Structure 1
Amino acid sequence: MRAQEMWKVSDGTGITVAVIDSGVKDVPGLEGRVLPGVSFMEPPVDHPDQKYPPHDDFDGHGTTMTAAIVGDGSAGGPQGLAPGAKVLPIRTSIGTPMAFAVGGEAAKGVRYAADHGAKIVNLSIGDWYSMDKIRSAVEYAQSKGVLVFVAMGNEGEGNNAANPWAMLPGVLGVGAVDENGDPLPSSSHGQDTDLSQMGGKVLVRCKKNSDWCVQDGGTSVATALASASAALVWSAHPDWTANQVARVLIQTAGAPRDGVKRNDYVGYGIARPSQVLLNHAGDPGAPDVDPLAAPAPAKTPTPGAEQTLEPRAESAAAAGLSWQWPTLGAVVAVCLGLGITVMIKRRRRRR
């Protein structure tokens, strides 16, 4: 990632990334990097007055995403990729028995982020039941100039059920690769994979969110790192629009090894902000034209036939947890979700 070199040009200063997740625990390494935020968690029926502050996290997932973006590497935690950025934590019911409500909560969170200064929204979560609410919220955020990243999901080894939120027009779907740049076997994939990032063995919150452990971070962490990559680029070019930031990340991504422009495993490739910041690569192009409005045809190669990651600086360590589905959906619900949402894919991208 050439992190130390990149940070001399840009460390994400001036950019706010909304992490809509399970909240954030105030752990060492995040001091001064996390805004007050908000919680949209639904209280239990028998305790309607119960409050859930955004600076708390039952699960550890949101804390891990936050550290992957802005952590300072202290106290055994990870060094975030955009340490100068700010994270706006928006807490949902991920990791709790109330997780059935996460779709509606996340939709509220997307709108809140757009109205409270976030340039980037990170959704390392997903569900199958709230497409209308999420779609409307994403459209609202896009109208405010916000760039949205969505994790593809970690069902690649099973039925490959990709997160339907990645199908929404105007978002960047993110897959995961390992330390060799090969697709992580668990990474969900398909026509909605636009970019990829590191999701292999990384530091994650563990032991009931009391410590850091090394585990696969999956597409959750990959999405956080893609959001951080965008923060670095946008901080260096604050006059660019979401379309322009997305365009240069796509243009400078490490393309698939098999020679195609994109494929269903890594999309257009691994996001490489160093190419923009250090090599001055990429043409931002028109500010109001979505770079994904007419994507190249997908080609699905054999897993493992992807490009190799750039050498990573030790200081560019990432963080993550395995993909967290809010609830276990029935097969019928999964099929219905995919059947409905696939019809709207890419019909309307960011304006």
Structure 2
Amino acid sequence: MGVIVATWAVGVGTVMPAAADSDPPDYLTIMKAQEMWRVADGSGITVAVVDSGFKEVPGVRSESVLPGVSVMSPPIEQPDEKYSPHDDVDGHGTTMTAAIVGDGSGGGPKGLAPGAKVMPVRTSLGTPMAFAAGAEGAKGIRYAADNGAKIINLSWGDYYSYPRLKEAVQYAQSKGVLVIAAMGNDGEGNNAINLITQVPGVLGIGALDETAEPLALSSHGHTTDLSAYGSKAPIRCKENTAWCVKDGGTSYATALASASAALVWSAHPDWTAHQVARVLIETAGGPVDGAKRNDWIGYGAVRPRMVLLEKAGTPGAPDVDPLAPVPANTPTPTPSTGQTAVAPAEAASEEAGPPWQWLALGAVVAAGLGLAGTLIVKRRRS
């Protein structure tokens, strides 16, 4: 039996009224998106969203989304059944796509990297066959790496298929791909952490609210590397038939981190995945207590504007993982200071909305497997 991390809202949302293209959500204003887009908008970068697929909806232009692929397994009784990557029964993949490349119309979000292309890789997430999503996702990661993706967005995880997912992630990394994964939305439960975030080189993303405080629901730990906005946002709801306002959680935050990486890479196409990751870490808005990092927000909130507008960050060695262990007595860059708050559990917003859950498939839950609290250390940090 597997346990899928489908970092998705379980509460009732508020139907989203149509928004004007010129009225982006507040987080885009805070991030200075309009100014950044004059420098780079993600053009030339393909972000693979390995998720529940993509459905053509108001708010996402068809030219922003590539044909993609479906890796869904057909049911035993219908072995010849084929599935389109341009379909999505619950809207999770569609939401992640919109957060990256949406056009802001029809109530949907304006994407942070509107010039990028999204490659939808559809798994069985959100369907009765979701137990197969881990193995499918591993196949989808390899497909994305072999077909031009520069960034792979994983707003979910799977315990049972972790070994296969780890191998697929490492394969993608060997192809020069930057893999970005959600920490999970169990911060108010047993704080189960997405195992994919422990793979060396993977950026683990936590979620922040409107005030740059960590969301209480955000899973957190030693594998948290960066954080991004994950509070109230336009989310596909009602079985992917409408936009609603709900907490986006670490899923949404991961999409924004992927979009941030796309902006930086678009401006510096000769950089490697390690270099893009390094400057995002160096320019993050770190904890206000002066700590290098903490388990809630990692090195801090992603701030691509620091790279694009302030020309901050040093790309460094193209083939060195910025999160790899550093030899003793070797000076390391200090992340930029910023407004992001210190993140003890009691400081997290009480207005974060209804709790999120990790979808358990089968009778064995993460705690029963002993995986929720006992994780392999991804990397040692000096």
Q: Confirm or deny a common fold (TM above 0.5).
A: yes
Q: Is residue 151–residue 173 contact of structure 1 (8 Å, CA) maintained in 2? A: yes
> Are residues 21 and 289 of structure 1, via their aligned partners in 2, closer, same or farther at CA, if it must alter by over 3 Å?
same
User: 1:207: how far off?
Assistant: 1.2
User: 1:325: how far off?
Assistant: 3.6
User: 1:44: how far off?
Assistant: 1.5
1:184 to 215, 225, 246: 215
2:291 and 2:358 mapped to 1: Cα distance? 31
Aligned residue pairs total: 329
User: 1:64: how far off?
Assistant: 0.1
Task: Show the counterpart of 2:9.
Answer: none
2:346 and 2:110 mapped to 1: Cα distance? 27
1:235 and 1:322 mapped to 2: Cα distance? 33
Task: Show the counterpart of 2:379.
Answer: 346
User: 1:15: how far off?
Assistant: 0.1
1:166 and 1:275 mapped to 2: Cα distance? 25
1:304 and 1:70 mapped to 2: Cα distance? 34
1:275 to 281, 293, 306: 306
Task: Show the counterpart of 2:132.
Answer: 101
> Are residues 330 and 269 of structure 1, via their aligned partners in 2, closer, same or farther at CA, if it must alter by over 3 Å?
same
Q: Does residue 248 of the first structure (1) align with residue 279 of the second (2)? A: yes
Task: Show the counterpart of 2:106.
Answer: 75
1:275 and 1:34 mapped to 2: Cα distance? 28
Q: Is residue 114–residue 146 contact of structure 1 (8 Å, CA) maintained in 2? A: yes
| 1:1-351 equivalences in 2 (<5 Å) | 1-31=31-61, 32-294=63-325, 301-303=343-345, 325=359, 327=361, 329-336=364-371, 339=374, 342=376, 345-346=378-379
2:233 and 2:293 mapped to 1: Cα distance? 26
User: 1:336: how far off?
Assistant: 4.2
Q: Is residue 18–residue 118 contact of structure 1 (8 Å, CA) maintained in 2? A: yes
1:273 partner amino acid = P
Identity, % of aligned pairs?
66
Structure 2 residue runs without a partner (length 5+): 1-30, 327-331, 333-341, 349-354
Q: Is residue 74–residue 81 contact of structure 2 (8 Å, CA) maintained in 1? A: yes
1:183 and 1:125 mapped to 2: Cα distance? 19
2:379 and 2:84 mapped to 1: Cα distance? 36
Q: Is residue 126–residue 326 contact of structure 1 (8 Å, CA) maintained in 2? A: no
1:28 and 1:336 mapped to 2: Cα distance? 40
1:304 and 1:118 mapped to 2: Cα distance? 39
1:8 partner amino acid = R
User: 1:50: how far off?
Assistant: 1.7
Secondary structure of 1:162 counterpart: coil
2:35 and 2:170 mapped to 1: Cα distance? 36
Q: Is residue 182–residue 303 contact of structure 1 (8 Å, CA) maintained in 2? A: no
Secondary structure of 1:126 counterpart: strand
1:50 and 1:112 mapped to 2: Cα distance? 20
- Cα RMSD (Å) of the superposition? 2.0
2:53 and 2:143 mapped to 1: Cα distance? 15
Secondary structure of 2:236 counterpart: strand
User: 1:327: how far off?
Assistant: 2.9
Q: Is residue 128–residue 333 contact of structure 1 (8 Å, CA) maintained in 2? A: no
1:322 and 1:52 mapped to 2: Cα distance? 28
Q: Is residue 16–residue 87 contact of structure 1 (8 Å, CA) maintained in 2? A: yes
Structure 1 residue runs without a partner (length 5+): 307-320
User: 1:121: how far off?
Assistant: 0.2
Secondary structure of 1:342 counterpart: coil
* Greater Cα shift, 43-52 or 140-149: 43-52
> Are residues 27 and 324 of structure 1, via their aligned partners in 2, closer, same or farther at CA, if it must alter by over 3 Å?
farther
User: 1:29: how far off?
Assistant: 2.7
> Are residues 259 and 303 of structure 1, via their aligned partners in 2, closer, same or farther at CA, if it must alter by over 3 Å?
farther
1:346 partner amino acid = R
1:326 and 1:17 mapped to 2: Cα distance? 28
1:117 and 1:326 mapped to 2: Cα distance? 33
* Greater Cα shift, 46-55 or 237-246: 46-55
Secondary structure of 1:154 counterpart: coil
1:151 and 1:218 mapped to 2: Cα distance? 9
Q: Is residue 214–residue 343 contact of structure 2 (8 Å, CA) maintained in 1? A: no
Q: Is residue 183–residue 266 contact of structure 1 (8 Å, CA) maintained in 2? A: yes
Secondary structure of 1:205 counterpart: strand
> Are residues 143 and 337 of structure 1, via their aligned partners in 2, closer, same or farther at CA, if it must alter by over 3 Å?
farther
2:373 and 2:148 mapped to 1: Cα distance? 32
Render the CA deviation track for 1:168-193: whole Å, top value 9, x for unaligned. Answer: 11200000000100000000000000
1:334 and 1:27 mapped to 2: Cα distance? 39
